[in-house]
Each structure stands twice: as C-alpha cells, then as structure tokens.
Chain A
Amino acid sequence: MDKMLNDLFDFQRFEKNKKMESIIDRVELKYDNELSEDLLELASGGKKNSDDEVDLDKVLGLNSEENGD
C-alpha cells in the first residue's frame, strides 16, 4: 500500500488530476507554513511580522472602490 501510494502521488506531481489537486491545495493551505508566511508577507506589503493591520481585500484586489464598483 505504501509503495502504491508513493507511485500514485508521484504520478500526481506529473499529471495533475483535478480532484486530487483540490485535496492537495486544501491541505497545503492548511499546513504549509512557508506558504502561509509568504501570504502574510504579501499582505503586509513586503514587511514580515508587520504590526500594521493588513487589508487582505486590498492586497488581493477585492477592494470595491479600486474596482470602480
């Protein structure tokens, strides 16, 4: 079973199955500290561990004023 899972996940890295990819994305987002830190850095405008309040919507371009809504 162990080897079989290694084979299948190996293959997933090569030919990404969409169902599997969505599972992997969810797990990565939940546990991948590096990814989380990068996102935080992006949100704080390039300043890691910034104490300033972060407007994620603005960073991600979801601000209604900027979009002209």
Chain B
Amino acid sequence: MDNTVSPIINFEQEKIFREYHDKVFGYIISRVRTTEDAEDLCQDVFTKVFKKFSTFDSGKAKIGTWIYSVARNTVIDYYRTSHVHGEYPEDLAVEGDIDDELLNDETLGELADALKKLPTEQMDIIVLYYYKGYTLKQISEKMCISYGSTKLRHKEALKKLRGMLKYS
C-alpha cells in the first residue's frame, strides 16, 4: 500500500502528474542511489511543481521544460544537502553550466540540425558518447576504428559544433 501523500490537487494537475511522473522518475532513478530516494525526490518534484503551478507562465516555457528544470535542481539539491548521498555524479550538470532557457525543444532542434552537418562518423560519435554514454574506447570498437581516430574525430566534432551553435 502506498502511504505517500499525493501532491495532486485538481484534475489538471492529475493530468500533468500522469503525463510526467514516469519521465521524472526515470530521470531521477538513474541519478540517485536507491529506489526509495528516487520515489521521495519524485514526490518532492511534484510537490514543488504544484506549489508553484499558479505562477507558471506557459508563454515563457513549455510545462515539460519547467518540470525538467525542477527535477534537475531537486537532484542537485539532494547531493548538496547531504554528504551521505555520495559523490556528485560527473554527468549531472551544476547550476550555471547551461542557461535553463536553452533547455527547450528549439535548442534541441538546432543541435540536431548542427549534428546533421557533421560527417556521419563524427555525428555517430557524438550520439554514442553523449546520449548512449559509451566511452570513446567502446565507441572505437563499435565503429571498428582506432581509439586514436575516435578521439580525434570526437575533438573535431566538438570544434565544428562550437562553431555552428550560437549559444556555445
């Protein structure tokens, strides 16, 4: 039996909860140590979201983008507030690394456009490294190219992306 108190207040919030709960939980569970912590943090996220719901301006950002920011900051706070939670994950961004306003569909679209302009191998390396989380060594084995070549193409890809993306 679930003893957690639901933060849902009305039908609209229930709809949002149903739509985003799994996404938020999936995001959090990959970043914290236990399922219990993930469930607690997920609860925290929606409590914060519904607390500030009346102040959310849909003209400025999509609801999903906002919920993602709340989830991300909640996980960051989780590591900051207690040392027993272990080391801060390397791939977890800290505040200031990227402007929250750039975390949106449009920016992802721009990145996709930029990736398509890269040579195929460079694009593949970027996706395998940053999305799939493979190491460059693993990528070199998958692509059947030398580790040195993989490192070089990764570096070249980043250089080209830096030139193409106006916010980098």
The residues of A with any CB-CB pair to B shorter than 8 Å are 1-15, 17, 19-20, 23-24, 27-28, 30-33
Contacts and interface: CB of A to CB of B under 8 A. Distances in A.
Given A12-B131, A20-B109, A1 B162 contact: yes
B21 interface: no
A31 B158 contact: no
A30 B72 CA distance: 31
Given A15-B65, A31-B142, A1 B111 contact: no
Given A20-B111, A27-B123, A31-B142, 5 more contacts: A7-B103, A10-B27, A13-B26, A13-B27, A20-B109
Contact of B116 (A17, A23, A24): A23
B93 A15 contact: no
Interface of B: 23, 26-27, 62, 64-65, 68, 71-72, 91, 93, 97-98, 102-103, 105, 107-109, 111-113, 115-116, 123-124, 126-128, 130-132, 142-143, 158, 161-162, 168
Contact of A27 (B128, B161, B168): B128
B88 to A, nearest CB: 13
8 contacts: A5-B130, A6-B91, A9-B131, A10-B91, A11-B68, A20-B108, A27-B123, A27-B131
Contacts of B93: 3, 6-7, 10
A7 B98 contact: yes
Given A11-B68, A17-B105, A31-B124, A1 B168 contact: yes
B123 A7 contact: no
Q: Which of A3, A11, A12, A20 has the largest count of B CB atoms less than 10 A from its CB?
A: A11
Contacts of B143: 31
A4 to B, nearest CB: 5
B126 A5 contact: yes
A27 B143 CA distance: 11
Contact of A7 (B27, B71, B97, B113): B97
Q: Which of B93, B108, B123 has the largest count of A CB atoms less than 10 A from its CB?
A: B108
Name the 4 nearest CB pairs between A and B, nearest first: A17-B108, A19-B112, A7-B98, A27-B127
A6 B113 contact: no
